[in-house]
Amino acid sequence: MDLQGQHVVVLGGTSGIGLATATAAARRGATVTVASSRSTSVDKALAVLPAGATGRLADLGRPGEVRALFDDLGEIDHLVYTAGEPLDLMPVATLDLAAARDFFTLRYFGALSAVQAARVRRSITLTTGVAKDRPGAGWAVAASICGAVQALTKALAVELAPVRVNAVSPGVVRSPLWSRMGEDERERMYRDIGGHIPAGRVGEVEDIAEAYLFCMTQSFATGTVITVDGGSVLA
| Range with the poorest average pLDDT among 60-64, 84-88, 92-96, 102-106 | 84-88
pLDDT of residue 86: 74
What band does 42 get if pLDDT is binned at 50, 70 and 90?
Answer: very high
pLDDT tens-digit series, residues 150-164: 999 999 999 999 999
Task: Give the pLDDT confidence score for residue 111 in this predicted structure.
Answer: 97
- Mean of per-residue pLDDT scores for the chain: 94
pLDDT tens, residue by residue, 99-145 = 899 989 999 999 999 999 999 999 999 999 999 998 889 989 999 99
Work out the percent of the chain whose per-residue pLDDT is above 70.
99
Task: Give the model's pLDDT for residue 89.
Answer: 78
Stretch 209-222: mean pLDDT, rounded?
98
| The CATH number of the domain covering residues in 7-176+203-227 | 3.40.50.720
Q: Which of 101, 127, 156, 100 is nearest to 10 (CA)?
A: 127
pLDDT at 4 > cutoff 90: yes
pTM of the model: 0.95
Residues with Cβ within 8 Å of 151's Cβ and at least 6 positions away in sequence, in order, are none
SS3 of 77, please?
strand
**Mean pLDDT to the nearest integer, 12-21:** 96
Paired with 204 in beta bridges are 174
Confidence of residue 1 (pLDDT cuts 50, 70, 90): low
- Which tens digits make up the pLDDT trace of 78-89? 999 999 877 677
Nearest to 3 by CA among 30, 21, 26: 30
Q: Is the dihedral of CA 8, 218, 1, 200 positive or negative?
A: positive
Nearest to 19 by CA among 146, 171, 167, 208: 208
Question: Residue 72: how many CB atoms within 10 A of its CB?
Answer: 9
